[in-house]
Structure 1
């Protein structure tokens, strides 16, 4: 089915096969921005996935991210838990998030997609879009919350909002809890992978690409257990120290956009060109910024044994095949970086109370268990970690479909 909707939106919907369940393409009437919403799957009538903004964002990119969200939701299915994974979705806007017009573009996109956010799509921040900006703009377009669609399937919406308030008002060592949970999960995925490959934290080095909420927290919690973070990459380049960077100082002094304050560098810290980030000698590489940054043309620069995907789709399929052929393993995004999304719903549906204590315990146990399950499948069946993760997700999605309506 296809139709034309107001507000310069085109939409299509159809039965699930290898295609998305529902897609819209939005054309801004006041700029050259184009936006997309893809709902890959609905579970109990609701889907989940963030909204990104970047110049060059495409419909195919958003489709891939939406499918990834279906997997990211599905792997966290636990029989008997209050949180039943939602369907996968994603939004994207092809526009420069640093432009002074970005907020206006975002507001008009939210206005055009408000009926979907209200009823079908629970959404939040992603690359180039901050949750604080979304929360500020939503009341202007008649919405109360970016996750109000989920209130249709939660038992007590008022209690859910109370738990969310606890979670989003919590601060841990100078950083808000919601900025830490995703990277904490990535760190736990990295540590689980390291343990399976006999990589002791004290003998392991890491490079983190991106120093926003995901990359910053990953660096914090790897450094906390003794991993030497030798490189951090931001939009200005690379900061590097073979002996290890002072992650905590750099974390607490970074900019709102995740840029390292170069005035806080110590003697021995060096600034390198951004082109050098892949070739730094380190055991673990964590791409935590943008999609498709590791491809078949640059993967040969990587010297790490392990790549842990903190960003969504940072490694292309072609690059991953080449990496595997030379013994580099990739812990896939829909397992490694799934804690942010799962944490939201654990809090919302009541599996945790929103406090840092319960949040970190739950993330640690689930991400470690999922990583171990993935490695068990990979090592037993002789397949890649991604193939193992797909099999794990497929089993869980099948279990969900046995109990709940999926579209």
Structure 2
């Protein structure tokens, strides 16, 4: 495994907090990857996320598409996003890394940060956009920027298309796995950790497909109901960090400890919040058949080995949550327009095909879906390099 192209550690002169930027690889001089903010964020974590972004980009390479995959990168800030000092820290970080955003790093929302917050801070430090580094690669910058702005203005039943795109991809990954195993949607139970952008949208799409969400977890704990939760009511009662106002709960909804989602009686678990949520100790509580990684790196490697030995399939983050990043580029480069139904149809086709390829490769190689996804990415990276070059 090669070292990242660039690794940067920044210390804030006001708070003393650290933040990071890792560029794993450049393709055509540009890398893509979001910016997260969470207490305890580390350079090792951001490095792993940047490598994952390289693979996500490669997995969506299609020679005939307008969207040409970029390299992988990631930013991280060690701070609780609820801290009153968080926004000022974000602004100072963006000011410090502004030259990279202007020239080679396209970024956006990730864990702990909304796109609205990133955009507001980026404007404050004088950036044109958090993705401006990609503009020189566009055939018609004005049309592309207009298309993306129009897409961000689209709402579906009160939730923005930009928030729904990733969840649509996660949900389709779940449905593809169920179809492959000939498991009917009706009666299939799901537990979701995190009801923010990714987890909330995933829960909505799964319920609308006929599955039953029996538990969701946020920072206050787990909300559960074996008969099924009213997901739309929970989504409407979230704050900006995905925390549900408990006043909307029904009499038969249960309030349980934060880690109770792991042991909920469900066929599918969707960790959609923090990294390292499932470790070698708490994996023993899981009775689900599938874990579908909506978050980045939620299952540690040792836990995944133990889960596999028990017959639990982990669908990896580099496949499952790659729809968010891909939707941005499909829209910006012009593979799809600013239309929700067109976007959802494209995401569903793409994710179903990618999940199918991953599971086929895992079966053929007698390995895990994660190893299979990494192998698919490794096959595609040389093809991208041969056509466009890359910089390590």
User: TM-score range with shorter-chain normalisation?
Assistant: over 0.9
Q: CA deviation at 1:103?
A: 0.6
Match of 1:362 in 2: 346
Within a 5 Å distance, the mapping from 1:122-133 to structure 2 comes to: 122-133=106-117
How far apart, in 2, do the equivalents of 1:85 and 1:346 lie? Answer: 10
Match of 1:190 in 2: 174
| 3-state DSSP of counterpart to 1:277 | helix
Match of 2:67 in 1: 83
Match of 1:5 in 2: none
Within a 5 Å distance, the mapping from 1:3-402 to structure 2 comes to: 18-402=2-386
| 3-state DSSP of counterpart to 1:184 | helix
Q: CA deviation at 1:140?
A: 2.1
Q: CA deviation at 1:198?
A: 2.1
TM-score by length of 2: 0.98
Does the 8 A contact of 1:175 with 1:252 survive in 2?
no
How far apart, in 2, do the equivalents of 1:103 and 1:125 lie? Answer: 14
| 3-state DSSP of counterpart to 1:259 | coil
How far apart, in 2, do the equivalents of 1:262 and 1:201 lie? Answer: 28
| 3-state DSSP of counterpart to 2:247 | helix
How far apart, in 2, do the equivalents of 1:146 and 1:287 lie? Answer: 27
TM-score by length of 1: 0.95
| 3-state DSSP of counterpart to 2:337 | coil
Q: CA deviation at 1:254?
A: 1.6
Which consecutive unaligned segments of at least 5 residues does structure 2 have? Answer: none
Shifted more, 120-129 versus 250-259: the winner is: 250-259
Match of 1:4 in 2: none
Q: CA deviation at 1:217?
A: 0.5
Q: CA deviation at 1:139?
A: 2.2
Q: CA deviation at 1:54?
A: 1.1
Which consecutive unaligned segments of at least 5 residues does structure 1 have? Answer: 1-16
Deviations 1:138-181 (A, max 9, x none): 12212110000000111111011110111100000111111111
Shifted more, 20-29 versus 264-273: the winner is: 264-273
Q: How many residues align?
A: 391
How far apart, in 2, do the equivalents of 1:216 and 1:139 lie? Answer: 28
| 3-state DSSP of counterpart to 1:215 | helix
Q: CA deviation at 1:381?
A: 2.0
Q: CA deviation at 1:398?
A: 2.1
Runs of 4+ with deviation above 4 angstroms: none
How far apart, in 2, do the equivalents of 1:67 and 1:47 lie? Answer: 11
| 3-state DSSP of counterpart to 1:71 | helix
Q: CA deviation at 1:378?
A: 1.2
How far apart, in 2, do the equivalents of 1:203 and 1:139 lie? Answer: 47
| 3-state DSSP of counterpart to 2:232 | helix
| 3-state DSSP of counterpart to 1:324 | helix
| 3-state DSSP of counterpart to 2:98 | helix
Q: CA deviation at 1:335?
A: 0.4
